[in-house]
């Protein structure tokens, strides 16, 4: 321990010499790297990989699907018997598309319907 020379008005104060630094083991540096830096690195790499894979796969921002209705109401302008069905299950139809062919039948006179030949009957489309 060294002493500074005393000045006129100040007492002698001991001055400490600086101590040598304590060496830090490599295991401590490795632990700090694993705790602080490695999680951020892994997160960044996984995020970058996900973005690259997403862009290469060409996945769009929407999905197409099929909706199935439990029940649909189909009406005909006349009473009759269904002769032909022009649609398949899950087929997309627009308003006004013919869905079926109906053979007209008059409930007041069933003999008239039976007497008509197919060439004279008109089969309206639904």
Q: Is the model's pLDDT at 114 over the cut of 50? A: no
When pLDDT is averaged across residues 28-54 and rounded to a whole number, the result is: 95
When pLDDT is averaged across residues 52-71 and rounded to a whole number, the result is: 71
Distinct helix (H) and strand (E) counts, the chain: 3, 4
Burial of 77 from C-beta contacts in 10 A (0-12 / 13-18 / 19+): exposed
Q: Of 64-68, 73-77, 86-90, 106-110, where does the model show the most confidence?
A: 86-90
Residue 54 shares a structural domain with residue 85: no
Asked if the structure places residue 8 within a domain, the reply is no
Count of domains observed in the chain: 2
| Domain encompassing residue 96 | 80-115
Percent of the chain with pLDDT over 70: 63
Asked if the structure places residue 74 within a domain, the reply is no
Asked if the structure places residue 13 within a domain, the reply is no
Asked if the structure places residue 73 within a domain, the reply is no
Paired residues of 76 in beta bridges: none
Distance CA 118, CA 83 (A): 12
Asked if the structure places residue 121 within a domain, the reply is no
pLDDT at position 109 is 60
Residue 86 shares a structural domain with residue 55: no
When pLDDT is averaged across residues 4-26 and rounded to a whole number, the result is: 79
When pLDDT is averaged across residues 102-118 and rounded to a whole number, the result is: 59
pTM equals 0.35
Asked if the structure places residue 49 within a domain, the reply is yes
């Amino acid at each position: 321990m060294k002493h500074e020379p005393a000045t006129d008005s100040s007492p002698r104060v001991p001055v400490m010499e600086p101590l040598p630094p304590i060496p830090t083991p490599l295991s401590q540096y490795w632990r700090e790297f694993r705790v602080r830096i490695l999680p951020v690195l892994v997160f960044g790499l996984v995020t970058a990989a996900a973005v690259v894979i997403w862009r290469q796969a060409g996945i769009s921002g929407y999905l197409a699907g099929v909706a199935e209705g439990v029940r649909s109401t189909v009406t005909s302008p006349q009473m009759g018997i269904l002769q032909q069905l022009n649609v398949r299950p899950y087929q997309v139809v627009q308003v006004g598309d013919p869905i079926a062919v109906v053979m007209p039948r008059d409930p007041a006179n069933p003999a008239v319907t039976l007497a008509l030949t197919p060439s004279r009957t008109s089969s309206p489309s639904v």
